[in-house]
Amino acid sequence: MVKIVDGTLALGSQLLGGAAEDDEGRALKFQSVEGAIIPTYSTRMNTTDGSGIVKIYTFSLEDTPIRVSVIRKTAEEIKAEEEQAVTAAKKEADEAAAQRRSKALQETQQTFTKTEKAFKTVSAPQKSNNKK
């Protein structure tokens, strides 16, 4: 964990990855600032001293050196990776759908069991032996 105070130098991965905390040890969760031309992130924390002051933590990627990776691949390799990603996404979606169906089936079975028990506890109406 990196403790953040004004002027702290930290890695973007620490700040965005949840490894940052304020001077009181509370986790900081940075979010992207909408409408910012340069990628900017911010979070707010109320102070705990009762003063009503809010601390605003902000950082941007304006002057941040960033490591750029260059990887060489053939068109076939790129296509294979894209197809693999599509297959993985479809498999994940199919598994999620199967879990939803399984849960719905379980809920239906539970409802059926409760209904069946309720019918068993209700006795049949008694026939009257009074003949006129």
- Full 3-state SS string of 74-95: CHHHHHHHHHHHHHHHHHHHHH
Structural domain boundaries, residue 104: 73-119
- Calpha distance 57→26 (Å, rounded): 13
Cα–Cα distance between 122 and 28 in angstroms, integer? 58
Is there a domain that residue 46 lies in? yes
Continuous segment of H or E residues that includes residue 115: helix 75-121
Q: Is residue 110 part of a domain?
A: yes
- pLDDT at position 122: 65
pLDDT tens digits, 52-101: 889 999 988 887 777 878 889 899 999 999 999 999 999 999 999 999 99
On the question of pLDDT at 27 being above 70, the answer is: yes
Three-class secondary structure of residue 57 per DSSP: strand
55 and 6 fall within a common domain: yes
Rg (CA), the chain: 30
The stretch 96-107 carries a mean pLDDT of: 92
